[in-house]
Amino acid sequence: MTVPSNQSRAAVVTGGSRGIGRAVALRLAVDGQDVVVGYVDNETEAKSTVEAIETTGGRAVAVQVDVADENGVRALFDAAERSFGGVDVVVNAAGVMILKPVVQLDLDEFDRMHRTNLRGTFVVAREAIGRLRAGGAIINFSTSVTRLNLPSYAAYAASKAAVEALSPILAKEARGRDITVNAVAPGPTATALFLEGKSDDLIQHIAKQNPMERLGRPDDIAEVVSLLAGNGRWINGQTIFVNGGAA
């Protein structure tokens, strides 16, 4: 089917207050979708994203949510339905990245990453599969690091590899519902999450490893999410690596 790009569609974007999530929220609004900006703690940035959408004539609301809490996630979808009448697209962009060698990573840090990255994606997707209208889409987030085998990324990559395993199975479980489920796996992208704690020399080294000789931009990732959230209906059960050829 061809999905109309108009204000009748509504998207929930977790982690929508900053980084890639913010870029996705802004892009979906440009596409004509109403947007629910899910955020965990930074209300100021979430409101800034909403205001940016409203400035361009779109409609958006910000809702605080712990994606790993099923009651909070249920309330998030309730808020979306109250605001916009239903939900058509869910983007699981909320994520935590802590980089340490396995021997140095505290188990509380391990649990924190997996609680958000895996459990959070699972909880949101489980709620979404029963709430999305026909023609809907679930877009989860993995990472290109699952193929790069970089030191210090083990726990983070493991949490995202699990998301890659979840997504195509959920696509098959949605049989007959006209709902697609895919995962997007960005490469190194110029966000605060990626840049934090890295020297300029290291950032330049990583950028040069890409045949495009630059880091990804949040808008690069949002472009692919836009396709999956709209007319890319024949893409289903896939992990799409969006990295400029880095992996």
| Annotation says 39 is catalytic | no
> Measured in Å, how far apart are the chain's first and last C-alpha atoms?
32
Distances (CA, A) of 60 to 9, 47, 170, 191: 12, 9, 28, 22
Contact status, residue 28 vs residue 4, Cβ threshold 8 Å = no
Instruction: Give the C-alpha separation, 122 to 125, whole Å.
Output: 5
Instruction: Give the C-alpha separation, 240 to 183, whole Å.
Output: 6
Residues 6+ apart with CB under 8 A from 144: 185, 186, 187, 188, 241, 242, 243, 246, 247
Which of 122, 141, 153, 156 does the annotation list as catalytic?
Answer: 156
Contact status, residue 46 vs residue 16, Cβ threshold 8 Å = yes
Residues annotated as catalytic are: 156
